[in-house]
Every structure is written in C-alpha cells, then in structure tokens.
Amino acid sequence: MIIDGQADFRSLLMHHVTTHWPDAVLSAYDPTAAGHLPVEFSGAGNDIILLGNELGDRNGIEVLKQFIKVPGFPAVVYFGTQDDKQAVAKAGADGFFVRDDISHDALTVRLSNILSSQRRLVSTASLFVGDLKAGIQPLIRGYRFVRKLGATMHSAVYLGEKKSSGQLLVLKVLQQVPDAQDSVGAFDRFLQEYELIAEIEHPNIVKIYDLGVGDEHAHIAMEYIDGGDLKQRISGGINEPDAVRYLRQIASALAKIHDVGILHRDLKPGNIMLRNDDTIALIDFGLAKRMRQEMEITDSGEIFGTPYYMSPEQGHAEGIDQRSDIYSLGVIFYEMLTGKKPFRADSAMAIIYMHAQAPVPLLPTPVASYQALLNMMLAKQPGDRLRSAAEIEEWL
C-alpha cells in the first residue's frame, strides 16, 4: 500500500514495484484528498506500507510512529528528506529512501529482503522449483506436469496434461499456504481471478476448466495457448488487416467483460495471447475488478496497471470506468498499426504526464483513415471517448 499526497510520486513507486513484480496488487491512498487514515487503521491485508512524507497537514514522522506502535502492523518503508533519516531509524521503520533520489535496484532489493524476512510460513515454492525429473511437483490430482512455464512471487505456471483425456492445459498454482496470515490477500486475489473469468464464455477470452483448493495450494486449470502473445507479434510487425482484426476481437472481449460489470485495468500486449488459428484470447485478470463492487477504504485513490497503457485518469489515481480500458486498447491499436508506442519517455512519471497532456499522435498516411477512431479512443477526458467497447465495431 502506497500512502502519499502526490499522485505522480505514488505512480512512480507503483512503477518501481510493478516493474520488478508484475503481478503485484497495489492500493494507493491520498490523505490530502480522502482524509487521514483513522487511528484504528491496522494495515491488514498488506505486505508492506510505502509511506511518503507528503501528508498534507500531518507530520510524516508522527504518522510513521503511529503506524509502528500498532501491534502486527505491516513493514513500513518511509520516503522523506535526508534530514528525516535519523528520526525514521529511531522510529523503527523497516527502510528509508530520499524521495527525490530513489534507486530502483536499491528499492527492490530492500523490499525483497523485507518480504523474505516476513515468510515464517512453509512456502510451497520448493514444490515448484524442484527438478520435475526427480518427481518433485505440486500434488494436484488428475493432472500430469509436463514442464514449468514461469513463476512470479505469488504463483507458478505449468504446462500440464489432464490424465483422463490427455488434453494439454495451463496450470496456474498459488505458491503460498492459503490459510497463513500473510498470504490471505494473495489467495483471495487468486480465487477472484478464477471467479471473474469462469463466469464468462466468449471466443476471445481464455477458457477456464477447473479450480482446485488444497491444504497447501490452490490451482486454476485453463486453456493452453501456444501461439505467443501480442507483444511478440507487434515486435515482428503487423499488417493493417490483421491489426484491425485483432482490434475487433479484443474490443468484443472487453465489451463482454464490461457487460457483466468487470474492468480489466491492465490491458497490454503481454496480456493478449494468440491461438494457433490466429484468434485473440484475453488473459490475466489479476487486476480486474467488478465495477459495482463495494469499495473499501484502501481503494480510494488507487493506481493499477502499466504506465505505457494507462489512461490519464488511471495514472493520476482518479476514478475509472470501462472507458479507461478503451483508452488502453487505443494505445495498443496505435502500436499495432505503427510498431511504436504513442507516448515514450525516460520515466514512468513522464509517460503518465504525456498521457494526460500530450496530443494524440498522428498515424502515418497509409493508415490515416483510422485517425478519427483513434482520437475517440485516446481522448484525454473520458467523456470525450467512446462510451463502450462495442462502439469500436460501429466506427470500423
């Protein structure tokens, strides 16, 4: 959880964290807009609190002391001035950085060390990283493991085979004991990801086959898609007809999830897969959220997603709706047509600023006929954008 009164600084910290941990789920709180957190705030559900010193009329060191004295409060890393260093250490913070001079490597190493020291439970990580030839693998009945595809902090992904049918599929396995105190948040998010996708049937959304919950792990069995992702396809170049076809399919998938009240919030080429028949499949709903879900205190002013594909309102921690996903799709459409991102800069803060302030770039002449549609998708103000993903097809 990030607590600070400056939206750009919250976005910068978010970028540092999600660059190193792509599946991290962040909540960012602005005390200057939403009011100061109550004295009874316990930090429950968070692994680490990133506390900035821009807190309106509250003194950052005093807020730090308030947090530290709460029994069971999460680790706190403080961001202030050089003059704060001694007071921060005396207060008992778990880390300190000068907010105007943050080294990415130093920050991620410190956060990694904090997370490692917190793990008092027996992680099932050894089940995932072991040698499959030696028979060390997660114990999931009914499936045979073929090979490991990847892993993040919270989950590992395998190519598996269903024993009863021989069907190849992807097994995503939670790497933590679900009933342990510091893994409840990750476990709940894992189940939410399944529940969000499983209730949807659409040709351009990944198929979910099964959910299993055991004593030491949970798993999702989903469609195996081996055609690579859209990011790889863009790097190799996409012709105009294919770019438009992909746009249609992604928009159709978005329209479906929006119809049932779900926002994706992290739409990017790496979360869009291609099947062998060259059809699109939208994946990774780890940041998805029901639009009508009742919001908790930590949801006020939250920032999620990847800066290159963020809408202006998302990058500045403002309220979002389906038009934010449409903006992200507009960025992807521009990238498919040109091979370049519409806004590029040396820092996450600069990219976020360009999304909000820089004019929509012009398409090259061969594809200029799509400029009007792109303008409607990449409008700075949500009210100036297309109202729904279904309207993309009408414009095409």
Is residue 211 within 8 A of residue 219, CB to CB? The reply is: yes
Q: How far apart (Å, rounded) are the C-alpha atoms in residues 60 and 116?
A: 26
Q: How far apart (Å, rounded) are the C-alpha atoms in residues 248 and 246?
A: 5
pLDDT tens for residues 144-173?
Answer: 888 888 776 566 788 999 999 999 999 988
Is residue 34 scored above 80 in pLDDT?
A: yes
Angle at 37 between CA 306 and CA 318, to 5 degrees: 35
Rg (CA), the chain: 22
Rounding to the nearest 10 degrees, give the CA dihedral for residues 227, 231, 236, 238: 90
Is residue 124 scored above 50 in pLDDT?
A: no
Task: Label residue 18 by pLDDT band (50, 70, 90).
Answer: confident
Is residue 148 within 8 A of residue 157, CB to CB? The reply is: yes
HSE of 36 in the Cβ direction (CA atoms, 13 Å)?
16
At the top level of CATH, which class does the domain 2-118 belong to?
Answer: alpha beta
- If we measure between CA atoms, which residue out of 322, 335, 207, 324 comes closest to residue 269? 335
266 a catalytic residue: yes
Q: How far apart (Å, rounded) are the C-alpha atoms in residues 237 and 228?
A: 14
At the top level of CATH, which class does the domain 230-395 belong to?
Answer: mainly alpha
Is residue 87 scored above 60 in pLDDT?
A: yes
Task: Label residue 141 by pLDDT band (50, 70, 90).
Answer: confident
Is residue 61 within 8 A of residue 91, CB to CB? The reply is: yes
The residues with which 174 forms a beta bridge, in sequence order, are 155
- 3-state secondary structure string across 30-62: CHHHHCCCCCCCCCCCCCEEEEECCCCCCCHHH
What three-state secondary structure class fits 125?
Answer: helix
pLDDT tens for residues 302-361?
Answer: 444 468 898 999 887 778 899 999 999 999 999 999 999 999 887 777 888 899 999 999
Is residue 24 within 8 A of residue 154, CB to CB? The reply is: no
C-alpha to C-alpha distances, 16 to 21, 50, 293, nearest whole angstrom: 9, 12, 28
Is residue 72 scored above 80 in pLDDT?
A: yes
C-alpha 258: how far from chain center: 18
Is residue 220 within 8 A of residue 193, CB to CB? The reply is: yes
CATH classification number, 125-223, choose in 3.30.200.20, 3.20.20.100, 3.30.540.10, 3.10.310.30: 3.30.200.20
Is residue 284 within 8 A of residue 271, CB to CB? The reply is: yes
pTM of structure:
0.65
Is residue 220 within 8 A of residue 283, CB to CB? The reply is: no
Task: Locate all alpha helices (DSSP H) within 225-369, ordered by sequence.
Answer: 230-236, 240-259, 312-315, 322-338, 348-357
The mean of the pLDDT values for the chain is 83
Domain boundaries, the chain: 2-118, 125-223, 230-395
pLDDT tens for residues 163-201?
Answer: 999 999 999 887 554 444 444 555 666 676 677 778 889
CB atoms within 10 A of CB 101: 8
For strands 28-29 and 2-3, give the pairing.
parallel
pLDDT of residue 125: 38
What three-state secondary structure class fits 169?
Answer: strand
List the catalytic residue out of 266, 277, 325, 384.
Answer: 266
Entry field: residues in the chain: 396
- For 317-328, b where at least 16 C-beta lie within 10 A, e where not — what string? beebebbbbbbb
How would you class 388 by CB atoms within 10 Å of its CB: exposed for 0-12, middle for 13-18, buried for 19 or more?
A: middle
pLDDT of residue 250: 98
For strands 48-52 and 75-80, give the pairing.
parallel
Phi and psi based region of residue 150 (left: phi greater than 0; alpha: psi -120 to 50; beta: remaining):
left
